[in-house]
Amino acid sequence: MTAVVLRRQEVRMATWIKETDRAIYLMQGNVWISRITKAPSATNPKEQVVNITGMEAWFNRPDAPAGMTVSMGTGAPEPEQWVPPQSGQINQAGLELIKHFEGLRTTAYKDPVGIWTIGYGHTSMAGPPPVYEGMTITAAEAEAILQQDLDIFERGVADALTITTNEHQFSAMVSFSFNVGLGAYRSSTLLKKHNTGDFAGAADEFPRWVYADGEVLPGLVRRRQAEQALYLK
C-alpha cells in the first residue's frame, strides 16, 4: 500500500508562483498555466496595479503553490504558456494498449452492448465508414480507420484539458475516451479531477468504469488497470 501511495504522489507536478516585470504567473514545470498581468497605476507612473482576486483559485487547487520566485528587473525572458497536446500525439504505449484491448476483427461483430463494430473497435458513431452486419475489411484498412478514429479522440481529449498533461496521462485518457466515448469522458469525474491537478484522484476513477449493462466485465477491469498504470507512469 505504501509503495502505491508514494508512486501516486510522485506523478503530481507541484505548482509555484513567478513574478516578473509584466505579470504574476502560476507555473507548472517550466511553463505557466495561469497568469495575472500588471497594469500601469493611474496615479503613480512608477507603480503597477494587479487584480489578485483570481489568485484564490490557485490556492484552492490540490497542488496549490507553496513557493515563489521574483524575477523583476533582471531582463530575463517571460515564461512560455503551456500548450495542450494536439492530435496525433498518443504515444506508442497508448497505441499498443488500444490495439491490444480492442483487438483486430476484419468482420463486423456486435460488442458486449450490441453495437456493430469492426477493425480496432470502430463503430458507426465514430464516423465513416458505417459498420453493418456482414461487413468485411482488410488489416490495412483497419489500420487506416484506426488512425482516422484516433485523430477524433486525440483532438477531443486535448480540447478538454486545462492543465499541463504529460504524454502518458494524455495517452491513457485517449484510450479511455476511445472506449467510453468523448461525451462520457468530458463529463467524467476523472477529467474534472485531472484538470484540478488531482492526479491521484483521477487515477482512482479508472477502475470505476468497468460496467456494461450493470455487470462488471473482466475485460474492462483489465483495460482500466492498464490505463491507470499508463496514466501513473
> Would you place residue 87 in the very low, low, confident or very high pLDDT band (cuts 50, 70, 90)?
very low
CA distances from 85 to 148, 155, 182, 202 (A): 17, 8, 16, 18
Pick the range with the lowest mean pLDDT from 106-110, 143-147, 157-161.
Answer: 157-161
Per-residue pLDDT for 5 more than 60? no
Q: How far is C-alpha 32 from the geometric centre of its chain's CA atoms?
A: 17
Any idea which residues carry the catalytic annotation? Answer: 102
Question: 159-195 pLDDT, tens per residue?
Answer: 898 888 889 999 999 999 999 999 999 999 999 999 9
Is the pLDDT at 155 greater than 70? The verdict is: yes
Question: Could you tell me the pLDDT band of residue 146, with boundaries at 50, 70 and 90?
Answer: very high
CA–CA dist 162, 26 (Å, integer): 13
Position 85 scores a pLDDT of 54
- Between residues 127 and 184, which one has the greater pLDDT? 184
| DSSP conformation letters of the chain | -HHHHHHHHHH-PPEEEEEESSEEEEEETTEEEEEEE-EE-SS-TT-EE--GGGHHHHHTSTT----EEEETTS-PPPPEEP----TT---HHHHHHHHHHH--EEEEEE-TTS-EEEETTEEGGG-SSP--TT-B--HHHHHHHHHHHHHHHHHHHHHH--S---HHHHHHHHHHHHHH-HHHHHT-HHHHHHHTT-HHHHHHHGGG--EETTEE-HHHHHHHHHHHHHHT-
Q: Which of 12, 63, 31, 84 is nearest to 231 (CA)?
A: 12
Residue-averaged pLDDT of the chain: 87
Quick check: 123 pLDDT over 50?
yes
Q: Say if residue 2's pLDDT is above 80.
A: no
Residue labelled with grid coordinates 530575463: 76
Question: For the residues 45-63, what does the mean pLDDT come to?
Answer: 83
Domains of the chain, earliest start first: 2-81 (no CATH), 92-231 (1.10.530.40)
Measure the CA–CA gap between 186 and 117, rounded to whole angstroms.
Answer: 23
CA distance 186 to 200: 18
pLDDT band at 57 (very low <50, low <70, confident <90, very high): confident
Contact 117, 92 (CB under 8 A): no
208-221: per-residue pLDDT in tens? 999 988 899 999 99
Query: Which pLDDT score, from 0 to 100, does residue 205 have?
Result: 98
Closest by CA position to 79, among listed 6, 139, 27, 140: 27
Question: CB under 8 Å to 219, separation ≥6 — which residues?
Answer: 101
pLDDT of residue 13: 52
pLDDT at 12 over 50: no
